[in-house]
């Protein structure tokens, strides 16, 4: 029996992937769940596996071509027993052939052939050469329907037009303004934006639709550094921050809730993400139920996820669903203070700044003594938290960091 190899659903928000490596050849024997193609999404490198055991009959996928979820990438020849193992959900997406071709309704084999041939030819191409941006023209203001249609045609959104000074009434951007702007772009030096860069840009654009605010406070790290020195293996400062944030949120889960309509949706699990810089972007691996994991056990899990993220090979369980909050250690770049932006799916992001030696008045010795101090920042959705609540949460996190034995 002929069994298709389909582009799987690789994540909640992922609609397509680009084929980067084909590991099989026609005539090759394969087992169930064997890696046959390597594909790249906007978030990671992932594997496509076989739906059942069999022999490779045909490979329709091409290198460096993007295919949508459900597209056929090849075919296996499998016996009836193995073919029956394929889940019904792995069948190709319907193309509504029954509605458009009534004469085929009673010919399942012919209908399946038409569906398979049509889907196998699906691929994703840029909306316009030189502008590899997603066609998500949402949130635009003071833009006419005519201009909005033109933007959608080119795959642009309102944020892309931030540099245009509208000449129309009330500062409205006219079609003439837009075309002049696009013409000017043609004279500039450009470079293609990676899929990772586009994903980050789209995520931040959606995040910024909310009223965001940031509070900050200094925290002494002397006890934390002493605890780290005496630990084996040595945990990085980010791990302390992850654990402190998790414990603080477990005491008041509403702080990490999301406002949907008139309801605060509380998190069902204290899953904390952390930012890892990768080529041309950032990935956020997630550690599940951090409040229930002993501190010493976080070290190995954190290190393995950092390595996987840098290789863009995060396991699905470390990325979907996303965590309820993120920790970012911008101090590793020598940055003292920053206002990081929470992910669209989250209400909170905790930032840890660069540790510096500062003078501190010792009341017992009545003299100035040096201490190591860093700035903590907490950015949050102001619809869910006010300054007082955010400040109390940040104070609790700082208290835990200054008492690392309680982590």
pLDDT in tens, 344-400: 989 999 999 999 999 988 888 889 999 999 999 999 999 999 999 999 999 999 999
Residue 355 to residue 337: CA distance in whole angstroms: 11
Tell me whether the omega of the peptide bond preceding residue 321 falls within 30 degrees of 0, making it cis: yes
Measuring CA to CA, which residue among 324, 328, 306, 323 is closest to residue 375?
328
Tell whether 242 and 391 lie within a shared domain: yes
Q: Considering the domain boundaries, does residue 299 fall inside one?
A: yes
Q: Average of pLDDT values for 89-111?
A: 39
Query: Does a structural domain hold residue 202?
Result: no
Question: What's the whole-number mean pLDDT along residues 203-211?
Answer: 88
29 and 154 assigned to the same domain: no
Q: Of 120, 150, 174, which marks where a domain is finished?
A: 120
In this predicted structure, the answer to whether residue 275 has a pLDDT above a threshold of 60 is yes
Same domain, 342 and 251: yes
Say if residue 334 is in the same domain as residue 226. yes
Do both 79 and 175 map to the same domain? no
Contact 350, 327 (CB under 8 A): yes
Examine the domain organization and report whether 287 and 255 are in the same domain.
yes
Flag whether 386 is in a domain.
Answer: yes
Which residue has better confidence, 293 or 110?
293
Using the predicted structure, report yes or no on whether residue 106 has a pLDDT greater than 50.
no
* pLDDT tens digits, 146-193: 788 888 888 887 778 777 777 776 667 788 888 888 888 888 888 888
> What is the token pair recorded at 286?
């997630």
199 within some domain: no
Does residue 90 sit in the same domain as residue 30?
yes
Averaged pLDDT for residues 134-143: 40
Are 172 and 227 found together in one domain? no
Of 85, 120, 155, the position where a domain reaches its end is 120
Q: Is the pLDDT of residue 287 over 90?
A: yes
Q: What is the mean pLDDT of the chain?
A: 82
139 and 62, same structural domain? no
The answer on 272 and 385 residing in a single domain is yes
Residue 295: give its domain's CATH number. Answer: 3.30.559.10
* 247 in a structural domain: yes
The least confident of 31-35, 130-134, 209-213, 319-323 is 130-134
Helices (H), 80-194: 80-83, 97-100, 108-120, 145-154, 175-185
Contact 388, 360 (CB under 8 A): no
Q: Is 36 among the domain residues?
A: yes
**Which of 135, 160, 192 delimits the end of a domain?**
192
Say if residue 249 is in the same domain as residue 333. Answer: yes
pLDDT band at 142 (very low <50, low <70, confident <90, very high): low
**Under a CB-based contact definition with an 8 Å cutoff, are residues 52 and 32 in contact?**
yes
For residue 92, the domain's CATH number is 2.40.50.100
For residue 141, what are the domain limits?
A: 126-192
Q: What is the pTM of this model?
A: 0.66
Q: What is the pLDDT confidence band of residue 116, given thresholds at 50, 70 and 90?
A: very low
- Co-location of 112 and 138 in the same domain: no
Residue 197 in domain:
no
Q: Is the pLDDT of residue 119 over 60?
A: no
Give the chain's domain count: 3
């Amino acid at each position: 029996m002929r069994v298709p190899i389909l582009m799987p659903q690789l994540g909640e928000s992922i609609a397509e992937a680009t084929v980067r490596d084909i590991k099989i050849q026609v005539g090759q024997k394969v087992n169930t769940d064997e890696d046959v193609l390597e594909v790249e999404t906007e978030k990671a490198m992932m594997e496509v596996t076989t739906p059942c055991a069999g022999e490779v009959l045909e490979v329709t996928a091409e290198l460096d071509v993007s295919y949508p979820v459900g597209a056929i990438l090849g075919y296996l020849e499998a016996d009836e027993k193995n073919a029956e193992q394929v889940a019904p959900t792995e069948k190709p997406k319907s193309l509504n052939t029954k509605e458009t071709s009534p004469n085929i309704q009673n010919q399942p084999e012919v209908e399946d052939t038409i569906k398979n041939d049509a889907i196998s030819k699906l691929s994703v191409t840029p909306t316009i050469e030189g502008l590899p941006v997603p066609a998500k023209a949402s949130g635009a203001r003071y833009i006419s329907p005519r201009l909005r249609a033109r933007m959608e045609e080119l795959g642009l959104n309102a944020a892309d037009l931030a540099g245009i000074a509208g000449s129309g009434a009330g500062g409205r951007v006219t079609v003439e303004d837009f075309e002049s702007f696009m013409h000017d772009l043609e004279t500039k030096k450009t470079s293609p934006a990676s899929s990772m860069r586009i994903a980050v840009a789209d995520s931040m654009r959606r995040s910024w639709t909310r009223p965001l605010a940031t509070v900050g406070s200094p925290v002494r790290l002397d006890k934390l550094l002493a605890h780290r020195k005496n630990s084996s293996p040595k945990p990085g400062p980010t791990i302390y921050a992850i654990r402190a944030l998790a414990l603080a949120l477990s005491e008041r889960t509403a702080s990490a809730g999301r406002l949907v309509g008139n309801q605060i949706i509380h998190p069902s699990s204290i899953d904390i993400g952390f930012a890892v810089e990768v080529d041309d972007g950032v990935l956020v691996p997630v550690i599940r139920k951090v409040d229930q994991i002993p501190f010493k056990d976080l070290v190995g899990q954190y290190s393995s996820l950092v390595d996987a993220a840098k290789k863009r090979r995060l396991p699905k369980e470390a990325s979907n669903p996303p965590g309820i909050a993120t920790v970012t250690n911008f101090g590793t770049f020598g940055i003292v203070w920053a206002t990081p932006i929470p992910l669209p799916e989250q209400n909170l992001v905790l930032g840890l700044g660069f540790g510096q030696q500062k003078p501190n008045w010792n009341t017992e010795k009545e003299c100035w003594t040096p201490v190591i101090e860093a700035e903590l920042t907490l950015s949050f959705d102001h619809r869910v938290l006010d300054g007082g609540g955010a400040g109390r949460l940040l104070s609790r996190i700082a208290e835990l960091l200054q008492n690392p034995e309680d982590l």
